[in-house]
Amino acid sequence: MAKVKCPVCGGLVEVDDDALPGELVEHDCGVVLEVHRGPNGSITLKPFEGVEEDWGE
């Protein structure tokens, strides 16, 4: 498990080491976070906006 800082509350989020980009992780603070991978394989998290499909304009 990797521990990644939550971008919303600053707490630590446990993420599987083999988590795939786009995977969703729910944090204790109630936010849903999307997994992103840096070029060196590092895991970063971004708040998931709740849009899974592109509905167009």
Q: Does residue 9 interact with Zn ion by CB under 5 A? A: yes
Q: Does residue 24 interact with Zn ion by CB under 5 A? A: no
Per rule CB under 5 A, count of chain residues that contact Zn ion: 6
Q: Does residue 32 interact with Zn ion by CB under 5 A? A: no
Q: Does residue 27 interact with Zn ion by CB under 5 A? A: yes
CA–CA distance from 17 to each of 40, 41, 50 (Å)? 13, 10, 24
Q: Where are the beta strands (DSSP E) in 1-57?
A: 2-5, 12-15, 24-26, 32-37, 43-47
> From the CB of 30, what's the least distance to Zn ion, in Å?
8
